[in-house]
Amino acid sequence: EKGGFDSFMAKEIHDQPQAVADTLLGRVDSNGRLALDELRIDADELKAIDKIVVLACGTSAYAAHVAKYAIEHWCRVPVEVELSHEFRYRDPIVSPSTLVVTISQSGETMDTLMALRYAKEQGARTLAICNTNGSSIPRESDAVLYTHAGPEIAVASTKAFLAQITATYLLGLYLAQLRGNLFRGEIADTLADMAAIPAKIQSILDREDEVKELARAMQDTTSVLFLGRHVGYPVAMEGALKLKELAYIHAEGFAAGELKHGPIALIDEGKSVFVVVPSPRGRYSMHSKVVSNIQEVRARGAKTLVIAEEGDEAVQDFAEWVFRVPETKTLLMPLLTVVPLQIFACELAGAKGLNVDQPRNLAKSVTVE
Ligand code: M6R
């Protein structure tokens, strides 16, 4: 069942090219236009949406964070991201022109289900992004966009996360198409880049030994920090969550720009810091700021572990270790940069002799509030 891997998690990490490909499958027509007829919300209603609220927990909430960057950029609609359990109890503002999107692998997360019910009571239109056919959250939503990652067994979410990002991007591009926010060519171009992602993930998996070696060497580490900016910020938080839940190591993800506002005080000799670096081909100032962050923590003795694009020469001199990911659009980078962080946590937990698939104190689906 584990397909020759040591754990379901390792297998599911390797399933990711397929999970992304399957989530794209059948949703783009031969003219490069999105065909999301499966959404049961009327196109006119979707055009009239003036706010999107995305609700989720854990890893699914990090997919929501990533989605915000893309959907706001493409659709020019405000997107709020909130943890389901926080949303439910704070008197949030939703109306019939609000689209509430829930993201859940299991479709049974009680916190998200309760938030969905609350949003419906307030008159919002609801759309579920879910990996489990016929589960409670999609059943109770107006519309569903299934992620086709296949069953996810390991408690730690991996392939569902990539499929969720893929699905939210399809939704974002579909809304942009309906609302005329993007030129046809831009949508087709982005979809073509998304179609190229599975092979790029595979090329990362083919080099997983580079990450595994680092993980094994770091099995006695007690604290690891993760920095990222823009879409790299939720990736940093996801990298930290994976390490906490699997390896029981203190780990924290930060927005790189926040470093000087406090977290840099944590840096001392030998502290391990992963830095997710945006593409130098994107906004140059963003890239150079993150490179400065690497220099800043390095100057204070940190061990800098860098995830950077192929050909990004600027990081080389300040990195203790560099892992290269293939080039893609900035917004698509999370689909690549998170993969080495998943492998790292999985391998480190395995090296410590821990149960990778069933970490202590956790359940695959959290059906209590
Ligand atoms: O099934 P869901 O996507 O609603 O689950 C949400 C979280 O409980 C889940 O992502 C959790 O954080 C995972 N253990 C993360 O690896």
pLDDT digits (tens, 9 = 90+) for 66-97: 999 999 999 999 999 999 999 988 989 999 99
Within 10 A of 360 (CB to CB), how many other CB atoms are there?
8
CA of 121 to the centre of ligand 1 (A): 25
| Residues 47 and 179: beta-carbon distance below 8 Å | yes
The pLDDT of residue 184 is 87
Q: Distance between CA 349 and CA 277 in Å, rounded?
A: 25
DSSP strand E in 22-64: where?
Answer: 51-56
Mean pLDDT, the chain, whole residue set? 95
Confidence check: pLDDT of 44 > 80:
yes
Q: Give catalytic status of residue 200 as yes or no.
A: no
Which atom of ligand 1 is least distant from the CA of 158?
16
CA of 59 to the centre of ligand 1 (A): 5
Confidence check: pLDDT of 173 > 90:
yes
Which atom of ligand 1 is least distant from the CA of 242?
16
| Residues 71 and 77: beta-carbon distance below 8 Å | yes
Q: Is the dihedral of CA 70, 72, 77, 78 positive or negative?
A: positive
CA of 235 to the centre of ligand 1 (A): 15
Testing ligand 1's pocket by substitution, the residue of 106, 237, 346 carrying the most ligand atoms inside 8 A of its CB is: 106
Question: Confidence band (pLDDT; 50, 70, 90) for 114?
Answer: very high
Which atom of ligand 1 is least distant from the CA of 364?
14
SS3 (DSSP) at 223: strand
Testing ligand 1's pocket by substitution, the residue of 8, 54, 60, 87 carrying the most ligand atoms inside 8 A of its CB is: 60
The pTM score is: 0.97
Q: Which residues approach ligand 1 with their CB closer than 6 A?
A: 57-60, 104-106, 109, 112, 155-157, 245, 362, 365-366
The closest of 218, 247, 211, 249 to 355, measured between CA atoms, is: 247
Residue of 2, 271, 329, 364 with catalytic role: 364
CA of 58 to the centre of ligand 1 (A): 5
The sheet carrying 51-56 orders its strands as 79-83, 51-56, 98-104, 125-130, 143-146
The pLDDT of residue 183 is 87
Which atom of ligand 1 is least distant from the CA of 157?
16
Instruction: Tell me which residue has its CA closest to atom 11 in ligand 1.
Output: 58
Question: Confidence band (pLDDT; 50, 70, 90) for 367?
Answer: confident
Which stretch of DSSP H or E encloses residue 103?
strand 98-104
CA of 275 to the centre of ligand 1 (A): 24
Token pair for 50: 């003036």
| Residues 201 and 335: beta-carbon distance below 8 Å | yes
